[in-house]
Chains A and B, each alone.
Chain A
Amino acid sequence: MNHIVVLNLWQFGIVYLLLLIVLAVFKRCKINQSKFLLIGSLRMTVQLVLAGLVLTYIFENPHPLFVLLYLAAMIAMSIHTALSRNREINKRFRAIVACSLGFTGFFMILFFVLGVVGVNFWNPQYTIPISGMIMGNAMTGVSLGLKTFQENVKTQKAQIEALMNAGATPKSILLPFVNKGVETALLPTINSMLGMGIISLPGMMTGQILSGTLPTTAILYQIAIMITITTVVCLAVFFSLFFGYRTLYNKKNQISLDLL
């Protein structure tokens, strides 16, 4: 059970033929995204090849500095991506989002690697892939939560104005929007937990089983990572919005949606 079939490059090449089928469907349905699909597949290939090479090098020459650099790059990229999907928010709000995502992500990585798995933090084989899963999910959650918050606040301008004029505090007016944002960000993660093991064998578990890990061990990892992901999404979104919404009003209780 302990050997894995290494993919032969020529055999591997046939997977790209599948893209032709997708392209044919695009053409038939007049979906104007062929270029996007090609760019996407190309970028994925290049990025993963690079990641493969870099990881191979790091695994052969493990050094704390490499782990730290990889981690820093991952956190920076996740912050950049989450913010670039929500360009309009103000500077202070952006800084709060960056801190919330960075710190909660880093803390949950520490918790998982040191607390749950209990291996040396500088062991790249554990720290790097686990960080990737945690940061990737935290990033998606924060983008979604932020987008929901922003869109709801913008479409409910009349509500915000009416309540402000009625003498409600900015906190009581805006907190329901924060709650909604956190809820929306968490739903996909919770939904995926529901189908897990029956409809889908999740990525991490599949990978471990393919590489020869006992399924009973693989499920423990999977359960642990799912709960960690739920927590990191919850905390990162909550801190982003709970501290971020305060940038939308001043001491005179004037809510300014231009700041969003």
Chain B
Amino acid sequence: MELFSIHNVQFKNIVNVNYNQIKIEECKTTFICGKSGSGKSTLLKLLNASLSADHGEVLFRNKPIMDYDTISLRKEVTLVSQNVFLFDDTIKNNFVRFYDYREEKPPSEVEILEYLKLCMANFSLDTNCKGLSGGERQRVFVSIFLSFKPKVLLLDEPTSALDEATSNALVHNLKEHCMKNGMTLIVISHDKTLAENHSDTIIDLNLEA
């Protein structure tokens, strides 16, 4: 089934992008490629309604995305941004604080450890995030958002701070997890091989624009 369809969408506040007819299918893994400034991140922000298009239409399950309650939508369509943010606190408390902001109960410690393992971040729960490296922080950040159990997971350059082997393992795990749980995965990556190895579909914004 078609999850998102994007018709002639323009967003020209920051980048001049013209998306003609992009369709994204449910329960599949879609990679988005394109050079810097081609509007990859902007596209993901349009999909979780944290930005509104100036022209054109973004449909989610055949309904204009702006007709949804945007807070519930973002809980269902969750974007993991390129800019990693963690509180200067332990991993456990980071989960707790993010869930507080969502007004939800945090998962159990066992569950948290599973999500961390899935994201190649095998740290103890009382590790302070302040002392982690860029790549380690990135993986903890992804694991928090994965634990929200969204229907659609949008990842903006999730492997930018990781080496090739870790990148491959992380994306492999994420894809497997999403397939098993009926989730849709949409990933921005500038890494062509990574995209070719793991995607069901690739959207190349250089060609679409």
Does A14 make an interface contact (CB < 8 A)?
A: no
Given A172-B101, A254-B49, A254-B52, A166:B74 Cβ within 8 A: yes
Return B143 CB to nearest CB of chain A, in Å: 13
What is the minimal beta-carbon distance from A163 to any residue of chain B, in angstroms?
A: 5
- Residue contact A167 to B81, C-beta cutoff 8 Å: no
Q: Does A191 contact B (CB under 8 A)?
A: no
Residues in A neighbouring B52, C-beta threshold 8 A: 252, 254
Q: Are B48 and A165 in contact (CB under 8 A)?
A: yes
Instruction: Write out the residue numbers on chain A whose beta carbons fall within 8 Å of the beta carbon of B66.
Output: 252
Report the count of interface residues on B (CB-CB < 8 A): 26
Partner of B84, one of A158, A168, A172: A158
A165 near B81 with CB under 8 A, answer yes
Q: Which residues of chain A are within 8 angstroms of B102 by Cβ–Cβ distance?
A: 166-168
In the complex, whether B181 has a CB less than 8 A from a CB of chain A is no
Judging by beta carbons under 8 Å apart, are B83 and A158 in contact?
Answer: yes
Name the A residues within 8 Å of B85 (CB-CB). Answer: 158-159, 161-163
B103 partner residues in chain A, CB cutoff 8 A: 172
Interchain pairs with CB closer than 8 A, number: 63
A192 to chain B, nearest CB (A): 31
Give chain A residues whose Cβ lies under 8 Å from the Cβ of B49: 252-254
CB distance from A236 to the nearest CB of B (A): 29
Q: Specify which chain B residues have a CB less than 8 angstroms from the CB of A164 in the assembled complex.
A: 50, 74
Which residue from chain B places its CB closest to the CB of A173 in the assembled complex?
Answer: B101
Task: Give a binary string over A122-159; 1 marks a CB under 8 Å from any B CB, 0 the rest.
Answer: 00000000000000000000000000000000000111
How many residues in A have their beta carbons less than 8 Å from beta carbons of B?
Answer: 17
Chain A residues near B81: list those with CB within 8 A.
Answer: 158, 161-162, 165
A167, B75: Cβ atoms under 8 Å?
A: yes
Contact A253 B70 (CB under 8 A): yes
- When C-beta atoms are compared, the residue in chain B nearest to A168 turns out to be B101
Asked whether B71 lies within 8 Å of A253 as measured between CB atoms, the reply is yes
A166 touching B101 by the CB < 8 A rule? yes
Q: Mark out the residues of chain B between 85 and 138 whose CB falls within 8 Å of any chain A CB in the assembled complex.
A: 85, 98, 101-103
A166 and B84 form a contact (CB under 8 A): no
A167, B103: Cα distance in complex, Å: 9
Chain A interface, >50% SS class: helix
B79 touches A165 (CB 8 A): yes
Query: Does residue B145 face the partner (Cβ distance < 8 Å to A)?
Result: yes
Cβ distance A60 to chain B, nearest Cβ, rounded Å: 60
Contact A165 B101 (CB under 8 A): no
Q: Is the CB of B51 within 8 A of A167?
A: no
Is the beta-carbon distance between A165 and B75 smaller than 8 angstroms? no
B184 contacts the other chain (Cβ, under 8 Å)? no
User: Which residue of B70, B72, B83, B145 contacts A166 across the interface (Cβ within 8 Å)?
Assistant: B145
For the complex, give the distance between the alpha carbons of A158 and B144 in Å: 15
Which of these, A161, A168, A253, contacts B83 with CB under 8 Å?
A161
Chain B, Cβ-Cβ closest to A251: B70
Contact pick for A162, options B51, B75, B83, CB 8 Å: B83
Check if B80 is an interface residue, CB within 8 A of chain A: yes
Q: Which residues of B contact A161 (CB under 8 A)?
A: 50, 81, 83, 85
A213 within 8 A of B: no
Whether, in the assembled complex, A33 has its beta carbon less than 8 Å from a beta carbon of chain B, the answer is: no
Determine the distance from Cα of A163 to Cα of B141 in the docked complex, in whole angstroms.
Answer: 12
From the candidates B75, B80, B101, name the one contacting A163 in the complex (CB within 8 A). Answer: B101
Given A166-B148, A167-B148, A168-B102, 16 additional A-B pairs, CB 8 A? A157-B83, A161-B81, A161-B83, A162-B81, A162-B83, A162-B85, A163-B101, A164-B50, A165-B80, A166-B78, A166-B145, A167-B72, A167-B74, A169-B71, A253-B71, A254-B70
What are 14 sample pairs from A and B whose C-beta atoms fall under 8 A apart? A159-B85, A161-B50, A162-B85, A163-B85, A163-B98, A164-B50, A165-B50, A166-B102, A168-B71, A172-B101, A252-B52, A252-B70, A253-B49, A254-B52
Q: Which are the 9 A-B pairs with shortest beta-carbon distances?
A: A168-B101, A167-B75, A162-B85, A158-B85, A158-B83, A167-B74, A165-B79, A253-B70, A159-B85
